[in-house]
Amino acid sequence: MAAVQRLTLAAALAAVTIIGAFGSANAAEQPVKIVVLGDSISAGHGLPADAALPARLAAALKAKGDAVTVVNAGVSGDTASGGFGRLDWSVPAGTDAVILELGANDALRGIDPKLTEKALDGILNRLDQRHISVLLAGMKAPRNMGPDYVRQFDAIYPALASTHRVVFYPFILDGVATDSKLNQGDGIHPNAAGVDVIVARMLPQVEALIARVRAARGS
The pLDDT of residue 14? 42
The pLDDT of residue 13? 38
Give the structural domain span for 14.
Answer: 1-30
What amino acid positions are annotated as catalytic residues? 40, 186, 189
Spatial contact of 103 and 171, defined as CB atoms under 8 Å apart? no
* pLDDT tier, 129 (very low <50, low <70, confident <90, very high otherwise): very high
* Cα separation values, 146 from 17, 106, 126, 135, 163, Å: 63, 15, 32, 28, 27
The pLDDT of residue 3? 46
Percentage of the chain exceeding pLDDT 70: 87
Q: 55 with 147, same domain?
A: yes
Q: 88 with 194, same domain?
A: yes
Spatial contact of 186 and 168, defined as CB atoms under 8 Å apart? no
Phi, psi of 201 (to 5 degrees): -75, -35
Cα distance between residue 83 and residue 106, in whole Å:
11
Q: 78 with 101, same domain?
A: yes
Q: 12 with 49, same domain?
A: no
- Looking at the 3D structure of the chain, how many domains does it have? 2
Query: pLDDT tens across 136-175, in order?
Result: 999 999 999 999 999 999 999 999 999 999 999 999 999 9
Please give the average per-residue pLDDT across 52-61, as a whole number.
98
Mean of per-residue pLDDT scores for the chain: 90
* pLDDT tier, 218 (very low <50, low <70, confident <90, very high otherwise): confident
Judge whether residue 112 has pLDDT over 90: yes
